[in-house]
């Protein structure tokens, strides 16, 4: 029996592997199995996701078909905002297969991401990805070994691929990762949408999520506009309203925050109305001047800032975290830094207003800094489950 292309039933298609196919990846190859062509690139990062024990490494994979890999153009995964179930399943297969071949304790604290991009699909793209991905992974490990000094002396005491190198030799580990691990991995390969256009907030949140191997995109980048009415009576409620709406519109995990100033003598006001205090026409200076005027003659000046962060996942799970910073309302504005009510929010322990602090000094003690730290811990716990 012969096949359509004339091959015998037990004859493999011609296989060609071109190593170091691209210039920048730590390891790469183009694997061709007949007319199937997959570009496999391995990238090394000097950090690991939070669920990885200290001193160990991690290997993960991403898989995608380019639009003209098929006879007809298919939409890019990114333009559909999420991976097709097929791609998600294949990238999990590739990641698990490659993890089974790696001794994580010898990898050091590195994450190696294997990107498998199908340039042309003519059957067998997943097996080509596993094989090509393995070669790219080996080449990246070789780069790590050769770069031992730059990335940390003593990383590979053997000094050469072999016994001291992380890729296992003939002793595959059971590929049976827990269900939870599969869930985490799927989640970590996602992007999170951050419901904010404030560059400062985007920068802070991106830095936190980068530790989890997660990228941040803004609703604008996804072409989404969701106008959410902040009808909640608490910061947490408003943050969750925004996170859920963006999550529903994008199909991606979404993060939103809400914050404001609560003044004891104003029964906790302006609170959730901080941004709108005094009505539309006022700017930051107008709002804090109005606040100072409404506290004229008032000796009880205790106040606090609160920040709530909410995260909504497409499976219905939610997380919330809050941070609070106590202080008093100054009698006059001081300092030019920050924004909003910063010039009138006095921190007694530092004897300065928020407006007199550097950005680093402020985020070390601020409601937002505390909420971000609490959120980061909650997310780590959630991902570990």
Determine which residue in the list 48, 111, 189, 274 makes contact with ligand IMP, applying CB under 6 A: 274
Residue 135 main-chain phi, psi, to 5 deg: -65, -45
The verdict on 261 binding ligand IMP (CB under 6 A) reads yes
The residue whose two tokens read 């609160």 is 306
Residue 110 three-state SS: coil
The verdict on 49 binding ligand IMP (CB under 6 A) reads no
Residues in 276-305 that interact with ligand IMP by CB under 6 A? 305
Give the Cβ contact number of residue 357 at 10 Å: 21
Tell me how long the chain is.
385
Determine which residue in the list 113, 195, 338, 347 makes contact with ligand IMP, applying CB under 6 A: 338
The verdict on 375 binding ligand IMP (CB under 6 A) reads no
Rounded Cα distance, 246 and 255, in Å: 8
Residue 304 main-chain phi, psi, to 5 deg: -150, 150
Determine which residue in the list 258, 322, 330, 376 makes contact with ligand IMP, applying CB under 6 A: 258
Residue (36 or 196) nearer to ligand IMP, CB: 196
Query: What are the CB-based long-range contacts (under 8 Å, 24+) for 316-322?
Result: 317/382, 318/240, 318/243, 318/244, 319/375, 319/378, 319/379, 319/382, 320/236, 320/239, 320/240, 320/378, 321/371, 321/372, 321/374, 321/375, 321/377, 321/378, 322/235, 322/236, 322/371, 322/374
Query: Which stretch of DSSP H or E encloses residue 215?
Result: strand 215-217
Residue (69 or 309) nearer to ligand IMP, CB: 309
Binding mask 345-374 for ligand IMP (x = CB under 6 A): ---------x-----------x-x------
Residue (152 or 271) nearer to ligand IMP, CB: 271
Shortest spacing between CB 255 and ligand IMP, in angstroms: 13
The verdict on 156 binding ligand IMP (CB under 6 A) reads no
Residue (144 or 236) nearer to ligand IMP, CB: 236
Shortest spacing between CB 258 and ligand IMP, in angstroms: 5
Query: Which stretch of DSSP H or E encloses residue 41?
Result: strand 36-45
Residues in 175-194 that interact with ligand IMP by CB under 6 A? none
The verdict on 320 binding ligand IMP (CB under 6 A) reads no
My answer on whether omega of the bond before 246 falls inside 30° of 0, hence cis, is no
Edge-to-edge strands, sheet with 15-19: 15-19, 27-33, 36-45, 111-120, 58-65
Residue (121 or 338) nearer to ligand IMP, CB: 338
- Window of 78-86, 163-171, 251-259, 292-300 that interacts with ligand IMP by CB under 6 A: 251-259
CB-CB contact of 383 with 372 (8 Å): no
Shortest spacing between CB 338 and ligand IMP, in angstroms: 5
Shortest spacing between CB 337 and ligand IMP, in angstroms: 10
The verdict on 273 binding ligand IMP (CB under 6 A) reads no
Rounded Cα distance, 183 and 20, in Å: 32
The verdict on 63 binding ligand IMP (CB under 6 A) reads no
The verdict on 339 binding ligand IMP (CB under 6 A) reads yes
Shortest spacing between CB 121 and ligand IMP, in angstroms: 46
Determine which residue in the list 185, 190, 322, 342 makes contact with ligand IMP, applying CB under 6 A: 342
Residue (31 or 261) nearer to ligand IMP, CB: 261
Rounded Cα distance, 380 and 234, in Å: 25
- Window of 45-53, 99-107, 110-118, 338-346 that interacts with ligand IMP by CB under 6 A: 338-346
What are the residues facing 326 on neighbouring strands? 304
Determine which residue in the list 108, 213, 260, 327 makes contact with ligand IMP, applying CB under 6 A: 260
The residue whose two tokens read 């570990």 is 384
Shortest spacing between CB 241 and ligand IMP, in angstroms: 12
Which parts of this chain interact with ligand IMP (CB under 6 A)?
Answer: 257-261, 274-275, 305, 338-342, 354, 366, 368
């Amino acid at each position: 029996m012969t096949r359509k292309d004339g091959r015998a039933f037990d004859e493999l298609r011609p296989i060609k592997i071109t190593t170091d196919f691209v210039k920048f990846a730590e390891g790469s190859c183009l694997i061709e199995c007949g007319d199937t062509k997959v570009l496999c690139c391995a990238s090394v990062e000097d950090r690991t996701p939070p669920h990885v024990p200290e001193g160990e490494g991690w290997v993960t994979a991403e898989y995608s078909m380019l639009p003209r890999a098929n006879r007809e153009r298919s939409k890019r995964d990114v333009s559909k905002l999420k991976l097709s179930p097929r791609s998600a399943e294949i990238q999990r297969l590739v990641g698990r297969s490659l993890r089974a071949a790696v001794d994580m304790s010898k990898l050091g604290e590195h994450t190696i991401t294997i990107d498998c991009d199908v340039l042309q699909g003519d059957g067998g793209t997943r097996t080509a990805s596993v094989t090509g991905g393995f070669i790219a992974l080996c080449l990246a490990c070789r780069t790590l070994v050769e770069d031992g000094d730059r990335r940390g002396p003593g990383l590979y005491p053997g000094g050469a691929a072999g016994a001291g190198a992380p890729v296992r030799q003939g002793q595959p580990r059971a590929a049976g990762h827990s269900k939870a691990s599969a869930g985490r991995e799927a989640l970590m390969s996602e992007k999170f949408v951050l419901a904010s256009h404030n560059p400062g907030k985007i920068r802070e949140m991106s830095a936190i999520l980068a530790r989890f191997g997660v990228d941040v995109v803004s609703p604008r980048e996804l072409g989404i506009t969701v106008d959410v009415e902040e009808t909640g009576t608490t910061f947490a409620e408003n943050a969750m309203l925004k996170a859920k709406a963006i999550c529903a519109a994008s199909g991606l995990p979404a993060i939103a925050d809400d914050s404001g100033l609560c003044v004891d003598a104003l029964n906790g006001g302006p609170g959730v109305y901080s941004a709108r205090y005094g009505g539309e026409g006022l700017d930051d200076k107008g709002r804090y001047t109005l606040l100072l005027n409404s506290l004229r003659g008032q000796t009880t000046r205790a106040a606090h800032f609160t920040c709530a962060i909410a995260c909504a996942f497409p499976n219905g799970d939610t997380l919330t975290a809050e941070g609070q910073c106590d202080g008093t309302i100054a009698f006059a504005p001081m300092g030019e830094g920050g924004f909003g009510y910063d010039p009138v929010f006095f921190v007694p322990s530092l004897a300065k207003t928020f407006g007199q602090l550097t950005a680093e000094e402020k985020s070390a003690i601020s409601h937002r800094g505390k909420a971000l730290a609490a959120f980061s811990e909650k997310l780590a716990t959630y991902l570990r489950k």
